[in-house]
Chain A
Amino acid sequence: MIDLVIAELQRVLAAKDAAPAAIGADTVLLDGDLPIDSLDLATLVVALEEETGREPFKAGFRMFKTVGELAALFEAAAS
């Protein structure tokens, strides 16, 4: 799952013409290290929902901060 999140995140960066970043499980999504904002993150989540058929946020917002935490939410969601 983590590899899929990283691959989709690189696609989001590429679509913005941003340079590929070194991304790992500990990479924080929105603290300024990556050139992405809320709309980019929403795009990432849609892509992951489409790829996995899973919807970890069906009941609303859940806190996550890093790439690894986002992957874990998708991992734990039933498909």
Chain B
Amino acid sequence: MSLPAWLHPGFTLTDPAGTATAAELIDAATRLADEVPLWCRAGLPATDARAILQALLATEARQADLFLIRDATTGARIDHRIEGDRVFEVADDVPPGAGLVWLQTSGSTGRPKWVAHQPETLRARIAAGQPGARWLLSYGAGSFAGLQVMLSAAIGGHHLIAATAPTIGDLAGLAVRHAVTHISGTPTFWRAFLMALGDTDLSLTTVTLGGEAADQGLLDALRAKFPTARLRHLYATTELGTVFSVADDRAGFPAAWLHAAPGNLRLTVTDHGTLGVARGDEAYFDTGDRVTVAGDRVLFRGRHDDMVNIGGVKIWPEEVEAHLLQLPFVRDALVGVRPSPITGSILVADLVLRDAESEAACAPLVKAHLERLPRAARPAMIRYRTALPTGQTGKKLRMP
């Protein structure tokens, strides 16, 4: 069985099971590929970087689809399941695979969607990077951003340090113990990481932020902690991927880019105050991200639609509201958004109970009902009220 050739022979992976060389990973992936039927649709629980890298190699060799399962409740149509170094048949009535990698995206009501990627596309934007780099995996191993970090290290021949379901304290400890040099994470990750690291010394050479807008306070704190690092924040959209990166230590991007953006990129502020993006002669794509020009800078101001980014997770407050209104004793619900210094934004909810219902009796039921949502979608605070604030039109005021 010949495996695809993208795994660099100098790559090493350290995880809770120990350290593996590229040769050891290739051996394991070759054995796995012998078990994976041609053109099957294989599922793998997406918790472990080592298992994912091996399964990527094995399924690509067998032109099989690979489903990286983060939420087991979703209906992935798979016919085989990978567990450790074994492959089990779980169904025989699904259509054949085509060598795609399927990733789960999370929504605010916890019903994830599957999105297919060509393996070549996942690897397309990865640059060779610096020799000797040591990466810490801050993202979930089965997420798009997590795969980008894993593939960067694997293709570049670097050292990847990964843990399974780590806390932020675990990640700070691993970074220090392994003298990590490269970390990519959301602003929410970085705020927590700085707090967990405290005064402990860590010398990073590359600090990358993505998935949410970076504020100036965070960029200043990162620069103070990592004075010599290459610090950049990325702007990306679901539809376009990474659009540009900003490396001047300032929030937002230079207003001059509205007239002359890097490369063949064109940027504009649309009539309704959102950022429009085009490449070359294409028509502008409306990103839905609101921007304002402040002096020589363009700053991000949240969304034109109702979407909220909470720690890098996209949440629609109206869906959370609808979820709360499913409870028979809730008469009305209003879910608002507050800025958070930790997660960018956070939800807060106002609830009105039906007559004769008591807060003491209902609160535990509300809590249990909210636990069915992804954590980022659960309001941080619930206020029980006798009526909701309404605007002049009688429409609920979507404000905290």
Do the two shown chains form a genuine complex with each other? yes
In whole angstroms, what is the CA distance A60 to B344 when docked? 9
Minimum C-beta distance from A1 to chain B (A): 17
Q: Which residues of A have CB within 8 Å of B342?
A: 38-39, 41-42, 45, 61
A60 with B381: in contact, given A32-B170, A38-B343 (CB under 8 Å)? no
Q: In the complex, which residues 16-39 of chain A have their Cβ closer than 8 Å to any Cβ of chain B? A: 28-33, 37-39
Does B4 touch A at the CB level, under 8 Å?
A: no
Minimum C-beta distance from A28 to chain B (A): 7
In whole angstroms, what is the CA distance A61 to B188 when docked? 10
Q: Does the CB pair A43–B380 fall under 8 Å? A: yes
A45 with B340: in contact, given A29-B195, A31-B198, A60-B217 (CB under 8 Å)? yes
Q: Does the CB pair B381–A50 fall under 8 Å? A: yes
Q: A40-51 interface mask toward B, CB cutoff 8 Å, 1 = contact, 0 = none?
A: 011101110110
* Cross-chain contact of A31 among B188, B191, B196, B216 (Cβ < 8 A): B196
Q: Does the CB pair A61–B168 fall under 8 Å? A: no
A30 with B195: in contact, given A39-B376, A42-B346, A62-B341 (CB under 8 Å)? yes
Which of A30, A42, A58 gathers most chain B CB within 10 Å? A42
Q: Does the CB pair B169–A62 fall under 8 Å? A: no
In whole angstroms, what is the CA distance A38 to B221 when docked? 17
Q: Does the CB pair B217–A42 fall under 8 Å? A: no
Q: Which A residue's beta carbon lies closest to that of B198?
A: A65
Does A15 touch B at the CB level, under 8 Å?
A: yes
Q: Which residues of A have CB within 8 Å of B381?
A: 43, 46-47, 50
Q: Does the CB pair A46–B338 fall under 8 Å? A: yes
Q: Which A residue's beta carbon lies closest to that of B400?
A: A46
Does B375 touch A at the CB level, under 8 Å?
A: yes
Minimum C-beta distance from B6 to chain A (A): 33
Q: Which residues of A have CB within 8 Å of B341?
A: 42, 45, 56-57, 60-62
Does B194 touch A at the CB level, under 8 Å?
A: yes
Does B215 touch A at the CB level, under 8 Å?
A: yes
Q: Does the CB pair B195–A43 fall under 8 Å? A: no
In whole angstroms, what is the CA distance A43 to B378 when docked? 10
Q: Give the size of the chain A interface in residues (CB under 8 angstroms).
A: 28
Minimum C-beta distance from A69 to chain B (A): 9
Q: Does the CB pair A64–B340 fall under 8 Å? A: no
Q: In the complex, which residues 212-227 of chain B have their Cβ closer than 8 Å to any Cβ of chain A? A: 215-218, 221
Does B44 touch A at the CB level, under 8 Å?
A: no
Does B202 touch A at the CB level, under 8 Å?
A: no
Q: Which residues of A have CB within 8 Å of B189?
A: 38
Q: Which residues of B have CB within 8 Å of A76?
A: none
Q: Does the CB pair B346–A43 fall under 8 Å? A: yes
Q: Which residues of A have CB within 8 Å of B218?
A: 60-61
Q: Which residues of B have CB within 8 Å of A58?
A: 339
Does B254 touch A at the CB level, under 8 Å?
A: no
Does A59 touch B at the CB level, under 8 Å?
A: yes
Does A63 touch B at the CB level, under 8 Å?
A: yes
Does B192 touch A at the CB level, under 8 Å?
A: yes
In whole angstroms, what is the CA distance A14 to B93 when docked? 47
Q: B58-102 interface mask toward A, CB cutoff 8 Å, 1 = contact, 0 = none?
A: 000000000000000000000000000000000000000000000
Does B172 touch A at the CB level, under 8 Å?
A: yes
Does B288 touch A at the CB level, under 8 Å?
A: no
Given A57-B217, A63-B195; 13 other pairs, CB 8 A cutoff? A28-B198, A31-B169, A32-B169, A39-B376, A42-B343, A43-B381, A46-B348, A46-B381, A47-B380, A60-B218, A61-B215, A61-B221, A61-B342
Residues of A within 8 A of B (CB): 15, 28-33, 37-39, 41-43, 45-47, 49-50, 56-65
Residues of B within 8 A of A (CB): 167-170, 172-173, 187-189, 191-192, 194-196, 198, 215-218, 221, 310-311, 338-343, 346, 348, 367, 375-376, 380-381
Would you list the 3 A-B pairs with minimal beta carbon distance, nearest first? A32-B169, A60-B217, A57-B341
Of the A-B pairs whose beta carbons lie under 8 Å apart in the complex, a sample of 19, sorted by A's number, is A30-B168, A30-B169, A32-B173, A33-B169, A38-B189, A38-B343, A39-B310, A39-B376, A42-B380, A43-B380, A46-B346, A46-B348, A46-B381, A59-B217, A60-B216, A60-B217, A60-B341, A61-B217, A61-B341
